[in-house]
Amino acid sequence: MKNLTLIIPAKHEGDSLPKVLEEIKNYDCKTIVVLERSDIETINATKNFSLDIIYQSSKGYGNALIEGINNVKTDYLCIFNADGSFDPKFLKQMLNDCENNLDFVFASRYLSNSGSDDDTILTKLGNFIFTKIGNIFFSINISDILYTFLLGRTDSFKKLNLESKDFCLCVEMPIKAKRLGMNFTDIPSYERKRIAGNKKVNEFKDGFKILLYMIKSFFRII
């Protein structure tokens, strides 16, 4: 998979990131880790690995991904978590499907033969609501809109002109892909329990921001 780059935004993931990097060594793809300069523990965790490091010029999950995307040189890229929750065994199928005339392949925790060891009742309910909104009002037709395990063509990612600096990027990507007439699908996957640390998402604060983004996007305010 030498034509694939994994973008790994990592914030306070010093305990989990080395294990993730060790696991993906077997997949022969390029890796970009996006870090904050102040996060010394996570920076030190990358020292024994061959990879590209980008230091964020602006804070935020969305900004980390945008800066990573802008630095990819391979034909394909995949957004990949630093906490160990994404299983790299799905990469091959995602890449093969994407090479078959698709712009993006979304992994899903809610299709048949999929699931999660890290989901809670609250996050499952929130994702159900946002996915319904996306499918009804934007005709996205995917089953897991907030799950950012996503592989696609690098040029397609760049055509999205992503702007969200935070977790609103989760919904900005499929909404813009649909509006631009891009081709995408979702496949079953399984979310593992994070190795260490805490989730960076605040269900209520970030959930409200995502809802507001979707409302504004529906009315073409943004």
User: In order of start, what are the domains of the chain with their CATH numbers?
Assistant: 4-218 (3.90.550.10)
For the chain, what is the mean pLDDT?
96
pLDDT for 222 equals 63
With CA atoms as reference, report the closest residue to 85 among 110, 116, 64: 116
Query: Can you give the pLDDT at residue 95?
Result: 98
Confidence of residue 169 (pLDDT cuts 50, 70, 90): very high
**pLDDT at residue number 110:** 97
pLDDT at 115 over 80: yes
Q: What is the mean pLDDT of residues 145-166?
A: 97
Decide if pLDDT at 146 tops 80. yes
pLDDT mean over 92-102: 97
- Give me the count of residues in the chain: 222
DSSP assignment of 43-77, as one string?
Answer: HHTTTTS--EEEE-SS-SHHHHHHHHHTT--SSEE
Tens digit of each residue's pLDDT (9 = 90 or more) over 19-69: 999 999 999 999 999 999 999 999 999 999 999 999 999 999 999 999 999
Residues 30, 25, 167, 151, CA torsion sign = positive
Global pTM reads 0.95
Tokens describing residue 221: 């305010």
Angle ∠(33,156,78) on CA atoms, nearest 5: 30
Query: Residue 190: beta bridge partners?
Result: 115
Residues 6+ apart with CB under 8 A from 49: 18, 21, 22, 31
Q: What is the separation, in whole angstroms, between the first and last Cα of the chain?
A: 36
